[in-house]
Each structure stands twice: as C-alpha cells, then as structure tokens.
C-alpha cells in the first residue's frame, strides 16, 4: 500500500514521520508541493492521496488521479468547497475530510481576538510604540455585560459558547439544526434577524455554502445593534468585505476580528516583504484600522491540530484503501 501526502508543512513532517513509523505496512511518500497540474504525476503508483490546500482541486487534476486508478482523496482540513464535485464523481473518487481537528483551538483564538478588541489592546500597542502611556480616551468594554450571538452551533460554535459563558456573557445562538443539549438550555433564537438584533457580539462559525455567501452584507448589518463586534474565524465568503468596510466607516460596526478573508488564497501564508507590497487594497484598509484585527487564517494553528490533521487524514485514507469505508467520508 502506498499513500502520497501533498503540501506537507515543516510543522506537519514530524507527525507524518511518526504515523509512518506506526504503520509499517504503508509506504508513505510526501512533498511540500501542493496538488495541481504540475505535481499530480507524482501520485502515479500510489493507492491514495492525502492533501491540504486552499487552491482548487480541478477537473484536470482529478481526471489525472482517476487515470492512475486512484480512488481515494483524504483532506487534512474541513472544507470541500474547492473540489470539482462532478469530476470527483465521474472518476469514482471518494473524499474524506477532518471535520474536527481541534474545535477548541479555533474557539480559544476567536475569544482571544474578541478580548483584544474589547480591551483596545491594538490601540494601546500603537500608542505605546509612540511613547504614549495614557489611558484615556480608550476605555474598554466588559464581555460579562454583553450578549454574544453565535451563528452555527457545530463543534467549534459550541466550544466558543462554553468559553463565552465562562466569561459571564449571555449567549444566544442560531442554527438550522438544533443541538439537543443547547435546545434544552433555550439558547436558540428562531431567525438570523433575531440573532442580529439582540447581539452585541456576532461570532460566525458557519461553513461556506451558496446560502451563506455574503450573509454579512449591507442589509444584515443594518439589522444589527449599533457598535456590534463581528468575529469571523470561519470562512471568508461569509462576509461581504465592501459592506464590512462601509459598516466600520459609519460606526455601525464597533470592531471586527477576521481570521478569514474572502480573497485570502494566494495572500494569506505569504511573505510579501513589506506592508506596501500586499496586493489587496481592501485588506490593507482593514489592517490599518485600530478596531480591526486581521490574522492570516491561524485560528486552527496549534500543535494538537497539526497532529490531528495528519493522523486523522492518513488513518482515513488507509481505511479507504483497506475497506473502501471511513467514518470521515463526505458527500460532494
């Protein structure tokens, strides 16, 4: 049995080596390169492919994998929206993902960024860099006095809710699918509009779907409280960037923490050498603001998550090759 792993980062390599040692019946090949038309030939002779990337898994790549007889593709991440579903089905390629590599990592980071916004740490950092050690006028807000609205109560949303409650915040939530335990607690509101109207903080944890694209837009922002804080550690496509900027300019939005951005592919996880060379003016607009925190999709980025991403994906791929089954199969 042979599995090739694409896009292996330096921080993932020790975990891949450890998995390989623990699975001597599997020949493991790896590369730091992503899976695309220029690298797909490296998969020839493999039984399965493990990969992680933001760029598309195109029809030409999937057709090539199919021509090699490869029917198993295991992602080290959650999202499958960048896979050409028709091509995968046409080639009989089964796909697995890692639905939860560390919900707590993302939840902890989300709340950390909110606390930075509420306590104005970005403002004080900039003031202190210029020798200004005064307090006023940058007085803070307290989370225990606020209502946090959580949009989507999957694993990450629920993990975030536990932390918000620990701070003493009132927590409400909206989801099409109600979690039975949360249902008993009575935290759900019936519509997104109710969530927007009642929340001092809006914490987004929804997947990227056609229905959710630009769910944060001019119309929905107008339904929110004045001075609302918006947190997006989920998917960049959830937020209409232009509408967000307009909301920040008007003061309707009191602050935002963005770990994802709708045009992040090719920008995040790239060293441009200087701020001026970042090739996205809207992103730079946001980064310049004291009440906006932009991070390059790092909420997941912990040692535990990196280990789980490798192990869960490799285990799933091996299971597919051996049995044609995995508890992490996804429908495209």
Q: Which residues of 30-39 are buried (b: 16+ CB within 10 A; e: fewer)?
A: beeeebeeeb
Phi, psi of 244 (to 5 degrees): -60, -45
pLDDT digits (tens, 9 = 90+) for 90-101: 999 999 999 989
Mean pLDDT of 263-287: 95
Dist CA 215 CA 208 (whole Å): 10
pLDDT of residue 76 exceeding 90, the answer is yes
Residue 265's pLDDT band, with cuts at 50, 70 and 90, is: confident
pLDDT of residue 32 exceeding 90, the answer is yes
Tokens of 74: 């295991």
Q: Is 158 a catalytic residue?
A: no
Q: Is 178 a catalytic residue?
A: no
Of residues 76, 158, 205, 297, which has the active-site annotation?
297
pTM: 0.91
Q: Evaluate whether 120 touches 284 at the Cβ level (below 8 Å).
A: no
Give the DSSP letter string of 190-233: SSHHHHHHH-SEEEE-----TTTTT-BSHHHHHTSPTTEEEEE-
Q: Evaluate whether 143 touches 167 at the Cβ level (below 8 Å).
A: yes
Q: Is 264 a catalytic residue?
A: yes
pLDDT digits (tens, 9 = 90+) for 158-168: 999 999 999 99
> What's the pLDDT at 54?
84
pLDDT digits (tens, 9 = 90+) for 109-123: 999 999 999 999 999
Taking residue 265's Cβ as centre, other Cβ atoms within 10 Å add up to 16
> What's the pLDDT at 79?
85
Domains annotated on the chain, with CATH: 2-101+302-323 (3.40.50.720), 103-294 (3.40.50.720)
> What's the pLDDT at 78?
87
Of residues 120, 158, 205, 264, which has the active-site annotation?
264
> What's the pLDDT at 239?
98
Residue 41's pLDDT band, with cuts at 50, 70 and 90, is: very high
Q: Evaluate whether 22 touches 68 at the Cβ level (below 8 Å).
A: no
**H/E element, 170:** strand 170-174
- Mean pLDDT rounded to a whole number for the chain: 97
Of residues 205, 235, 262, 307, which has the active-site annotation?
235
Mean pLDDT of 143-158: 98
pLDDT of residue 31 exceeding 90, the answer is yes
Mean pLDDT of 264-283: 95
> What's the pLDDT at 194?
98
pLDDT digits (tens, 9 = 90+) for 186-201: 999 999 999 999 999 9
């Amino acid at each position: 049995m042979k599995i090739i792993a694409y896009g292996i980062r330096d921080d993932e390599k020790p975990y891949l080596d450890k998995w390989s040692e623990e699975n001597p019946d599997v020949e493991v090949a790896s590369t730091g390169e992503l899976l695309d038309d220029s690298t797909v030939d490296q998969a020839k002779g493999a039984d399965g492919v493990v990969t992680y990337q933001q760029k598309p898994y195109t029809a030409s790549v999937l057709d090539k994998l199919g021509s090699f007889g490869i029917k198993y593709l295991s992602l080290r991440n959650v999202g499958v929206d960048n896979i050409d579903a028709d091509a995968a089905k046409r080639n009989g390629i089964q796909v697995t993902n890692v639905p939860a590599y560390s919900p707590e990592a993302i939840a902890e980071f989300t709340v950390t960024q909110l606390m930075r916004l509420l306590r104005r740490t970005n403002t004080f950092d900039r003031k202190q860099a210029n020798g200004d050690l005064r307090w006023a006028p940058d007085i803070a807000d307290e989370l225990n006095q606020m209502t946090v609205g959580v949009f989507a109560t999957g694993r990450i949303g629920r993990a975030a809710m536990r932390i918000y409650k620990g701070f003493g915040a009132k927590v409400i939530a909206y989801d099409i699918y109600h979690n039975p335990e949360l249902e008993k607690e009575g935290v759900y509101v019936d519509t997104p509009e109710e969530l927007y109207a009642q929340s001092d903080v809006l914490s987004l944890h929804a997947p990227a779907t056609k229905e959710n694209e630009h769910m944060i837009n001019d119309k929905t922002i107008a339904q929110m409280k004045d001075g609302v804080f918006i947190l997006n550690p989920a998917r960049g496509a959830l937020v209409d960037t232009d509408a967000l900027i307009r909301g920040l300019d008007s003061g309707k939005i009191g602050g935002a923490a963005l770990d994802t951005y709708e045009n992040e592919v090719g920008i995040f996880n790239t060293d441009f050498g200087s701020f001026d060379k970042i090739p996205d003016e809207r992103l730079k607009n946001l980064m310049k603001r004291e009440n906006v925190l932009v991070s390059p999709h790092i909420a997941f980025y912990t040692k535990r998550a990196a280990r789980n991403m490798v192990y869960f994906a490799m285990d799933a791929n091996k299971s597919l090759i051996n049995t044609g089954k995995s508890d992490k199969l996804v429908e495209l």
